[in-house]
Amino acid sequence: MQNWKTERPLLLVLIFTALAYGWSWFCWWPILDDIKPNLLSMDPIAIMRMLAGGFGPSAAAILLSLLTGGPREAGALLSRLVRWKVGAVWYLLAVLFAPVVILGGVGIYAALGHDVGAIRWDHWWIIAAFYGVALFLGPLLEETGWRGFAQPVLFNRYGIFVTGAIVGTIWTYWHAPLWLAKDGSSLSGGDFTAIGLACYWLFLVGQSIFVAWLLSKARGSVLIAMLVHQGMNAGAIGWLFYDIAVGDKSLAFEQLPVVAIWAVIGLGLVFGAMRGRVSPDTAA
């Protein structure tokens, strides 16, 4: 398997996918009836299994790194987690991604004639709290797999858009058991509908394309990918618009932001920012 990263990247990512899904789904299927939108209301054993399942992508990445290159390759994988010496502009873009996308969705919602209500500046503490908690509910558990392993395996061969589409699609359907949770999932929550699934897929593919481009500039730093992921899991500044009608929250915060993220990608193409290939520093 040592040469598969260059000779058989798709096969290697397929094996990675099978391992990640296998680990996570094994943890999640038995607790679907115990999953609650609020993690703190769940049984401690169910919480442990929920979090253990979230580690599936990273566990698969570490295992395959050991198999393909031994401890040295696994060490290189983990080193991407602490690769913090990148330009300040890339940190800024990682932090701004979620607010820009969510504001874009809310802006489109308002432009369509809907009332966004009063801006709840008093919710700043909720935003801060969710940013802290969100780091542990996805970014730390998953990103070693998605962006630390799968992305660089594919990137040198396929570039930004194909890599983003593949990783985003794998990432989307990895969540599949959580869509069937009796009371919804804090990771994927909301009703399971065809429109909801399509928007979820389009969003994660769009986010993956953006992160693929961002990491090609930021030396493959998984830390940067974690910041993007953290902002989206936290809901970013969506809490400022808490008074949007309950029945419209899915439209404002889940569906219309998809338009915003693809507009960002479109602008990146128009101005040439997202053209080009991976830099040598991000090679797997």
Return the biggest CA–CA distance within the chain: 58
Structure confidence at residue 19 (pLDDT): 98
Query: Residue 23: is its pLDDT beyond 70?
Result: yes
pTM, two decimals, is 0.90
Structure confidence at residue 283 (pLDDT): 42
Structure confidence at residue 63 (pLDDT): 96
Structure confidence at residue 145 (pLDDT): 97
Distance CA 122, CA 143 (A): 32
Question: Whole-number mean pLDDT of the chain?
Answer: 88
Q: What's the pLDDT band for 274 if we cut at 50, 70, 90?
A: confident
Distance CA 34, CA 208 (A): 30
Q: How far apart are the first and last CA of the chain?
A: 14
Cβ pair 208, 167 in contact under 8 A: yes
